[in-house]
Amino acid sequence: MAAVTTLSELLAEHTRMHGETVDHLQRVVSEWQLLADMSFADFLLWVPLDEPSTPDGADAPPRAAGSAFLCVAQARPTTAPTAHPDDVVGKRAAAVEVGQLRRAVTEGRICRDDDPRWHLEVPVRRETIPVRQGGRTVAVLSRDTNLATPRVPSPLEIAYLGSASDLCQMIVDGTFPQSVPLGSTEGSPRAGDGLVRLDVHGNVAYASPNALSAYHRMGHASDVAGTELAVVTRRLVLDPFEAADVATKITEALEGKASPRMEIRGRRASMVVRSLPLRPRGDPAGALVLVRDVTDLRRRDMALLSKDATIREIHHRVKNNLQTVAALLRMQSRRSAHPEATRALEESVRRVTSIALVHEALAYSVAETVELDALLEKVLPAIRDGATAEARARVRVEGGFGTLPAGRATPLVLVLTELVHNALAHAYDQGESGEVVVSARRSAGWLEVAVSDDGHGMPEGFDVETAQGLGLQIVRTLLTSELEATLRMGAREGGGTEALIRLPLGGSPNGSG
């Protein structure tokens, strides 16, 4: 049976927590990387197990519910060595750990180890933090600090630890994280990106070096220490509505309201800002403002968007030029008095049109990939319609081709065009009904395509490797030089012909895989 590893799965299997409690624990886990980084410590989330369990044998008395705890989530700091190099998720608390965890539940306060304990030859100090929701304790956080590396107190460390302690107390109070949906925390600034601690009046008590650099890049030349951050930030923002909005969010954090991340743009830089209220035990203690300089990231995004737009415009122009070429060839074929010349020109029109359809698909694609299933829905009917004078066979597609890079999609579409046209042109007599099936089977490393018909079959002595027809010469060349694929042609079971293509999906010499 597959191991249960996600928080929601572990809670569903081992507890009877209702939806609101599960949602609250999910919010705690979504925020706790910030706590781990500011605490320089690992965080483990423990839940009391509902069902009584027997500790050491069938004859031993069962333990009461809540006597055992299970770790359901784990976070390691990015700012300090971990206390838990091993994976603790899914494991029960050891007997020596249960007492402190239970004490946090029963006393409803943060409890600290009297003495460090040893874990995998590392001294660890543990604090247990009751997680309260709806007026009751629903889980316990353990904050485990690796004491093997001594730390020298610095202004940054003091600000980090003080802010983390306030937020941990707010978890005990049940006020952090707030239950009001704030949107996804993905992309929010981390402590290391830039941290500003505000006092109760909204003045900067501490700003980390990265936060100072972000504000300097936004255009604030002097130190922000002692300034009113909402006012300073508002002056740096170009858009007046953005400026008012970010200032309001910082002020609201001082009043106890958290806000989602917000991106602001100055004259020379862009910055993401997020504000968190600090109100341990309900007492105002200022606010925490996290900032992240995203200037270079946005410039790269703009460069990529510009590049994508240019590439799409090129594909659009190539498509238009190819359609013009196809139209000229079509006009020439109508004027030709020689059947062989007309047929050759019509085949050229078909090939050029197939390539044009690939470029049309790329002109509307964000990535340099082609959705082959949608493209073949356009290409194959056009081939069938062009062959109606020769046969009345229909073309059907089975399976899914998926997407391919442009450099591989174009030759593959041309190959399929030639094989389908070949089947329509040679497998049936004029006016004869039948069916040509294009089937695909795709795996992680290979795409296998079969083009089969129920026609007359191949002539005696036919060899695909030596066939001199232009269509099959094109097929062989493209499969060998562009796709590194193999082709086999033979009799189809039940009559007719089948062409089998096996195409590796791992890349190509063109760099298009």
pLDDT in tens, 116-135: 888 888 899 999 999 999 88
* 274 membership: H or E segment, kind and range: strand 270-277
Per-domain residue ranges of the chain: 7-51+64-173, 191-293, 367-504
pLDDT band at 348 (very low <50, low <70, confident <90, very high): confident
Q: Which two tokens stand for residue 276?
A: 């968190």
The single-letter code of the amino acid at 411 is: P
DSSP conformation letters of 428-478:
S-TT---EEEEEEEE-SSEEEEEEEE-SS-PPTT--TTT---HHHHHHHHI
The residue among 134 and 186 whose pLDDT is bigger is: 134
Let me know: does 228 contact 205? Beta carbons within 8 Å. Answer: no
Identify the burial level of 284 via C-beta atoms within 10 angstroms of its C-beta, where 0-12 means exposed, 13-18 middle and 19 or more buried: middle
- Class of domain 367-504 as given by CATH: alpha beta
Q: Which of 218-232, 371-385, 499-513 has the lowest mean pLDDT?
A: 499-513
| pLDDT at 42 (0 to 100) | 97
| pLDDT at 437 (0 to 100) | 92
pLDDT band at 65 (very low <50, low <70, confident <90, very high): very low
pLDDT in tens, 300-336: 877 777 777 777 777 778 778 888 888 888 888 888 8
pLDDT band at 453 (very low <50, low <70, confident <90, very high): very high
Do 191-293 and 367-504 show the same overall fold?
no
| Whether residue 62 has pLDDT greater than 60 | no
Identify the burial level of 185 via C-beta atoms within 10 angstroms of its C-beta, where 0-12 means exposed, 13-18 middle and 19 or more buried: middle
| Whether residue 406 has pLDDT greater than 60 | yes
| Whether residue 255 has pLDDT greater than 90 | yes
Let me know: does 47 contact 65? Beta carbons within 8 Å. Answer: no
Site of tokens 């093997």: 148
| pLDDT at 509 (0 to 100) | 38
Q: Where does 7-51+64-173 sit in CATH, by number?
A: 3.30.450.280
Residue 27's CB: how many other CB atoms inside 10 A?
A: 18
pLDDT band at 365 (very low <50, low <70, confident <90, very high): low
pLDDT in tens, 142-171: 999 999 988 788 999 999 999 999 999 999
Residue 57's CB: how many other CB atoms inside 10 A?
A: 6
| pLDDT at 63 (0 to 100) | 43
Identify the burial level of 73 via C-beta atoms within 10 angstroms of its C-beta, where 0-12 means exposed, 13-18 middle and 19 or more buried: buried
pLDDT in tens, 215-238: 999 999 999 999 999 999 999 999
Q: How far apart are CA 382 and CA 362, in angstroms?
A: 19
Radius of gyration in angstroms for the set of CA atoms belonging to the chain, rounded to a whole number: 34
The residue among 289 and 344 whose pLDDT is bigger is: 289
| Whether residue 501 has pLDDT greater than 70 | yes
The most confident of 19-23, 64-68, 263-267, 286-290, by mean pLDDT: 286-290
Let me know: does 42 contact 83? Beta carbons within 8 Å. Answer: yes
pLDDT in tens, 70-98: 999 999 999 999 999 999 999 999 998 99
| Whether residue 1 has pLDDT greater than 50 | no
| Whether residue 57 has pLDDT greater than 60 | no
| pLDDT at 325 (0 to 100) | 87
| pLDDT at 48 (0 to 100) | 94
pTM exceeding the 0.85 threshold for the entire prediction: no
The residue among 417 and 367 whose pLDDT is bigger is: 417
Q: Which two tokens stand for residue 426?
A: 């040679």
191-293 CATH, one of 3.30.1360.170, 3.40.50.9100, 3.30.450.20, 1.10.540.10: 3.30.450.20
